[in-house]
Amino acid sequence: MALKAFLIKYGEIGIKGKNRYLFEDALLSQIRFALRDVEGKFSVSKEQGRIYVEAQGEYDYEETIAALKRVFGIVGICPVLQIEDKGFEDLAEQILDYIRQIDPDPARTFKVHARRARKNYPMDSMTINCELGERILREFPKMRVDVHQPQFNLYVEIRKQIHIYSETIPGCGGMPVGTNGKAMLLLSGGIDSPVAGWMVAKRGVQIEATYFHAPPYTSERAKQKVVDLAVLVARYAGPIRLHIVNFTDIQLYIYDQCPHEELTIIMRRYMMRIAERIAKESNALGLITGESIGQVASQTIQSLYATNEVCKMPVFRPVIGFDKLEIIEIAKKIQTYETSIQPFEDCCTIFVAKHPVTKPSLKVIQRSEEKLQEKIEAMVDLAVSGREIVVCK
Ligand code: ATP
Ligand code: MG
């Protein structure tokens, strides 16, 4: 069947009035972004409170569905058969044909849902429902009407053209990116942070990201892996500006001045401080990390307390209550997992002490940081101003 159009269903809770336009416009632009690499030409439009994607000529059906399934805010994708209005007889014939193509010998309960969006059509919705229902019963003797829990819902919308659809492919839900401000993701090469970024983007938040690398201790390839991950998250979240911060000197300085078992915590505090500074410059209103309680020494409740203390901005930790396996499940679903498990060094792990503190005392950490007073401000300034910015899409 030559289905060339898709009706896009989206959740409408809380999007009344002016918000509705913002929501729909963001959705249109995210759909266009998602389709840009799909084979074929598409028009994406909004009419009478509905969003349509129409292929202009040849296109790749499977790829189109896959791309639309990555757009936050879409709850359902309905492949639509569009036909010209050549009178009711023709419509009835085409509908019988449509059903035959789905199943030559259908034995299902069904319901017809006609909607007359064009009021000058000579029959009203009720009459269309009854007439079409009768034709279907006559043509397919094993079908039965069930208006309460039909197995097969046939939608017929009378517009300039007539739209026929019956299938709804589930979308990924959420809110269109761009409807809920911006946040800064601390993106490492691991499994957790890309998932965390994806989860926050799903709520409509635009994402920027900061990655700390430590050349020559971390390689060019490790950095490329993070860029690759940002590109993968961008398939859902739209283009991501990735700030790559050279953390080597700061790390070495902390290593020289502070007790080694506190190194990870102090380093993490500087990551948060720097990410917050860049976030402010980017007008982001929150930070995102892939932390999960108890996963490693730097993520005990005491460590999280000590890390969090340096930030004024809210820190979003969407995987905080997830087990590793639950995070992996999402990473696989969003296809970041294979990239995340490539074995490249992370700057966090390079100078790690054998026995890092697991219950850091904030007072003790603050006292250790005093030893950095002389140079740290200048080093942070340099790291921030010297950062590299890559737009990942
Ligand atoms: P992930 O799998 O996300 O890398 P992890 O299990 O390796 O997490 P940690 O290394 O303790 O855990 O990092 C916790 C969080 O801190 C990460 O999820 C990420 O948000 C941030 N983070 C860690 N290392 C870096 C880095 N090099 N650059 C940017 N953010 C980082
Ligand atoms: Mg990590």
Between the alpha carbon of residue 171 and those of residues 176, 231, 382, the distances in Å are 12, 21, 44
The whole-number average pLDDT for the span 210-222 is 95
Ligand 2 centroid – CA 305 distance (Å) = 18
Q: Across the chain, what does the average pLDDT equal? A: 95
Give the residue whose CA is nearest to atom 20 of ligand 1: 289
Ligand 1 atom with the smallest distance to the CA of 247 is 27
53 lines ligand 1 (CB under 6 A): no
Q: What does the pLDDT look like over 168-209, one tens digit per residue?
A: 999 999 999 999 999 999 999 999 999 999 999 999 999 999
224-247 per-residue burial string, b: 16 or more CB within 10 A, e: under 16: ebbbbbbbbbbbbbbbbbbbbbbb
Q: What is the pLDDT of residue 14?
A: 60
More confident residue, 34 or 345: 34
346 lines ligand 1 (CB under 6 A): yes
Q: What does the pLDDT look like over 38-72, one tens digit per residue?
A: 999 999 999 877 899 999 999 999 999 999 999 99
Q: Side-chain half-sphere of 28: how many Cα atoms within 13 Å?
A: 16
d(CA 115, CA 50): 13
Cα 116 vs. chain centroid, distance in angstroms?
Answer: 35
262 lines ligand 1 (CB under 6 A): no
Pick the ligand that lies closest to the CA of residue 226: 1
Give the residue whose CA is nearest to atom 1 of ligand 1: 190
Q: Any residues with CB less than 8 A from the CB of 218 and at least 6 apart, and which? A: 344, 345, 346, 347, 350
d(CA 207, CA 340): 19
Q: What is the pLDDT of residue 5?
A: 95
Q: How many CB atoms lie within 10 A of CB 386?
A: 10
DSSP code string of 145-192: E-SSS-SEEEEEEESSSEEEE---EE---SB-TTSS-EEEEE--SSSH
User: Among 348, 357, 390, which is best to mutate for testing ligand 1, by the most ligand atoms less than 8 A from CB?
Assistant: 348
User: Among 192, 208, 269, which is best to mutate for testing ligand 1, by the most ligand atoms less than 8 A from CB?
Assistant: 192
188 lines ligand 1 (CB under 6 A): yes
Q: What is the pLDDT of residue 351?
A: 74
184 lines ligand 1 (CB under 6 A): no
Give the residue whose CA is nearest to atom 30 of ligand 1: 186
Pick the ligand that lies closest to the CA of residue 192: 1
Is 328 strand, coil or helix? Answer: helix
Which of 145-154, 341-350, 366-375 comes out lowest in average pLDDT? 341-350
Q: Are strands 240-246 and 206-213 parallel, antiparallel or unpaired?
A: parallel
Band of the pLDDT at 12, cuts 50, 70, 90?
low
303 lines ligand 1 (CB under 6 A): no
318 lines ligand 1 (CB under 6 A): no
**Whether pLDDT at 348 is above 80:** no
